[in-house]
Structure 1
């Protein structure tokens, strides 16, 4: 009990112990240096009588016995010393004083071997021994003032306290992606596995540039899925980084498929290594809603700011107009000219011819009537605002290279057709993101509609730098693709990218419904959101306070963030945090992880050195590409001339003719 009475009693006991030590030491000096005291005339009969009684007790024999007794009493007195605490003091200072004091305290005996007078030897011995005794008192007092409590002084970032158990089992199935990793639990490193056993619930791979998304995660998803017989679509933002990996794993793994898949690439920069594919293929467009979705994808891909303005008059109008043009070509001669290049060229016709042609198709009449009415009523400013925005945006796609790829039929987009599986890689160019991204968005949207059906082969859709393309209804795709065995992997740098290009609501939905997430270094709101998603763990907390007499220690446990936002913001390359999803029959209790993914760098470097380059598809020259460009323009002109002539000759269609400028005809 820290009562004042007990404190006073303890203080008196300590003072008494110190006084006894000093008294015993003084008697030792009196006995050991008696001849010197006698010459100094410091003896008396009473003192001699007392000394004789003490000698008979054996206190002074052997010589150091009294000094040892004095030292013991001094030690007892020092045990209760509570000097004022000071953080600057170190234990070694007190030990230095104590060690020096012990040496002087006992080494003074050696002085008696000197050849000096008895008085001089006694004086030196008393001074040296007393100095040692004083240093012992000073050293003990200093030690009592040192703050000996250390609370994880080496763990200044609380890393040990924020560790938690992670999955160490390797859990595999026919769909899983398994990443070897290493994590820290307290102060020990342990081997672990990141088991993505259900990739069909969606996978988000986040990380700032250089965090290792592609090298540590995406490349393994590609290699493991292809080796397990998945059909695959890979959006390769920096072509051909991922395409080369996919091509070489396809070469190794073709025997793993019931039907060997074919490998296709789309690359607008090197046409000799690019296949040709028409994303508006007539056979894949069952009704006008397919045309509407295609039109929306193209224009929103070209005008990303329109994504947040969907529903506005001047956004929906050009989409409706483009829908009408696409569906017209889909119905014309059973869709043999239904390609994006033909759509772009037919929109360049003058309004008289264009509106006349479109009026012949009854299904799009409701779409084009507002434009025709505005044209006939000379509301040209409104009309140009509606149509010109579509024409101007699409004009950016009018290049021989794009026309060549978009007008061919080397393959169809049903990559997970069990009878004809495919590995398809489409390449973008960071320097031409806006143009290529809009066209690739059309490929992706058409492919998703075809792939996300029952009874198909398991497939993997991998998007590197996903925000650079526009995929309409990506949230619905993630929500429904699981039952159709479609695994979706989205790679992005930050949630803010997603919000910028897709809008806050859709970005938040995408971030929330994905079951698996692997995140490298990110900062800001993304790190905070993920930290909250990973939850809290029980952590030890220790606090202490210091006053003049003692140190107060308080220890407790409380729930705190398993992976704080600050830790996510400071992850090293190759270090990831995340959470995986499980299956009803394959439970994973430890879903959250904070680990370093282990790559065998030498093996990967050797594998990369042995990669076979993607071969040429065909030999091309510029004349062939330009000739295709001219043929498409001629096709459109022939359509316009022949159809207009047919309408003029058939009295049943003459009422459809728009001749605002009759002098032309």
Structure 2
């Protein structure tokens, strides 16, 4: 409760005490020929109606005064009820107010009129104040923007009062700051507020889930007219996650898409292969590509990550190769493995397959299988579809980020592939601690995504963190495209 509401509450309490004192004095104090009794009787006879009217008029103010706290700003936006309910509330409030104000004109019914009028005015007065007089919550934009900002642009106010303007966020935003420097509070949260207020869709990568996700959810509720759907994917809290299959057939129009998704999995599983791909990584990518494309062509309902993981970790490699080798396209990708089998290079091949099985076994958890196997949640990875835009929060966990990296990297890769197309809804790709996941060919997103209205926000601790996961060459290209 803020200071304004405290003041109103105090005034209502004083008015209620005056009304109660009048009621008790007139009904329960016997007449006396003393000065104090005469003064009080004169006061209540002349001003009693005013005290009762003042009490009734103050009741709506108690529920009409908004809080100035963060808790109030983040409450769910309550729509007004039906018109007939509003009219009933107004009529009831006016009736109660009238009874209180006119009670002294009916001395024989005064005993009943005052409590009835007080109760009716209190009940309906609260409804009138909340439904009709309470101002709508301030737009999230009003806290950190000034008039005249460019459409779909961002503005952030510094502590000094100066403004940082980002009139064209589709050119890309790069934010670097050490641990504890306040990147989330100073940059991520204002950008989230303004993006949601402007009906952006897209991705929020929340490495500290659920901090930014909860923040985004509350501010999404303050914009009930937004057309974007709010969705959450995480592998930590099964009560607060949707389910979505990232490699659904609609996301794999050709085998090259399957290859890029396989690259995202392998390079997030083994980050050292980002800069130094070797025979193991190339063979692993080829095998995963073949498995994904085989399921995509011949078993669409089973084209999910759980099925891919199960086939690779629990099927003997010779049977697996024979199965996917029956498809000419898949065979071309796994030909190097077929050749190794033909040449009886069993030891080397066993080492490659064994290492891949160990790596993929990290993904064989009940949470992963449950979240990534769904195909009927009513939304897809086409996040910036103008007909059904989606704001998707990807929840990470620093304690197990090594295990979650390939999953979050895969979701991000699939989403950006589908987002980076012309004629889509304006979207944002906000990555907190971005280097903790690897997205293949990430530098192409801000370079080509500006024409697709994708606002890329890349946040990190420092450049050394980016180089650690992306390498020197890709880091320079990323910095060059985030202008």
If the length of structure 1 is used for normalisation, what is the TM-score? 0.49
SS of match in other structure, 2:158: strand
Alignment of 1:340 onto 2:305: yes
2:386 to 418, 432, 435: 418
1:441 to 397, 401, 409: 409
1:370: how far off? Answer: 2.1
CA distance in 2, matches of 1:404, 1:292: 24
2:480 equivalent to 1:500: no
Taking the aligned partners of 1:364 and 1:389, their CA distance within structure 2 comes to: 21
CA distance in 1, matches of 2:390, 2:458: 20
Aligned-pair CA distance for 1:374: 1.6
1:351 matches 2:321: no
Partner of 1:376: 342
Residues 169/354 of structure 1: CA separation in 2 closer, same or farther (3 Å cut) = closer
Match of 1:128 in 2: none
Deviation at 1:321, TM superposition (A): 1.2
Aligned position for 2:247:
280
SS state of the match for residue 440, structure 2? Answer: coil
Q: How does 1:410-489 map to 2 (within 5 A)?
A: 410=377, 411-489=379-457
Q: Which residue of 2 aligns with 1:366?
A: 332
- Equivalents in 2 of 1:345, 1:477: separation in Å? 32
**Which is further off, 298-307 or 386-395?**
386-395
CA deviations 1:430-459 (Å, max 9, x no partner) are 000111111000000000000111111000
Corresponding residue number in structure 2 for 1:210? 180
User: Per-residue deviation at 1:233?
Assistant: 1.0
Aligned-partner SS, 1:233:
strand
Whether 1:180 and 2:152 are equivalent positions in the alignment is no
Tell me, in whole angstroms, the C-alpha distance in 2 between the residues paired with 1:231 and 1:367: 36
- Superposed CA deviations along residues 347-402 of structure 1, whole A, max 9, x for unmatched, are 12113421221122111111222212322332112212332232221111111111
Distance 1:375 1:354 in 2: 12
Q: Give the CA deviation at 1:170.
A: 6.6
Aligned partner of residue 175 in structure 1, secondary structure: coil
Matched, 1:323 2:300: no
CA offset digits 1:385-434 (Å, max 9, x no partner): 33223222111111111110010122211111111111110100000011
Aligned mates of 2:318, 2:269 — CA distance in 1: 27
Q: Distance between the aligned counterparts of 1:352 and 1:301, measured in 2?
A: 26
Aligned residues between the structures: 336
Please list, as runs of the form range in 1=range in 2, the aligned pairs for 1:217-366 lying within 5 A after superposition: 217-255=187-225, 257=226, 260-310=227-277, 312-333=278-299, 335-347=300-312, 348-366=314-332
* In 2, Cα distance between equivalents of 1:479 and 1:224: 23
Task: Provide Cα deviations, 1:158-190, integer angstroms capped at 9, x if missing partner.
Answer: xxxxxxxxxx9975112111111255xxxxxxx
Structure 1 CA distance, aligned partners of 2:467 and 2:480? 13
Partners of 1:206 and 1:373 lie apart in 2 by: 47
Q: Residues 124-167 of structure 1: CA distance to partner in whole angstroms, max 9, x if unpaired?
A: xxxxxxxxxxxxxxxxxxxxxxxxxxxxxxxxxxxxxxxxxxxx
**Greater helix fraction, Structure 1 or Structure 2:** 2
Counterpart secondary structure, 1:308? coil
Q: Secondary structure at the match of 2:302?
A: coil
The 5 A counterparts of 1:525-536 are none
1:437·1:468 contact (CA, 8 Å) conserved in 2? yes
Describe how 1:53-64 pairs up with structure 2 within 5 A: none
Please state how far the C-alpha of 1:336 moved relative to its aligned partner: 1.1
Paired with 1:217 and 1:442, the residues of 2 have a C-alpha distance of 26
* CA distance in structure 2 between the partners assigned to 1:505 and 1:377 by the alignment: 37
Does the residue aligned with 1:253 lie in a helix, a strand or coil?
A: coil
C-alpha distance in 1 between matches for 2:345 and 2:428: 49
Q: CA deviation at 1:316?
A: 1.1
Residue in 2 that maps onto 1:398: 364
The CA distance in 2 between the partners of 1:359 and 1:509, in whole Å, is 37
Q: 2: CA distance between counterparts of 1:170 and 1:249?
A: 20
What RMSD in Å do the two structures reach over aligned CA positions? 1.6
Contact 2:202 2:427 in 1 (8 A): yes
> After the TM superposition, which residues 615-630 of structure 1 pair with which residues of structure 2 at under 5 Å, given as runs?
none
Aligned residues of 1:226 and 1:232 also touching (Cα < 8 A): no
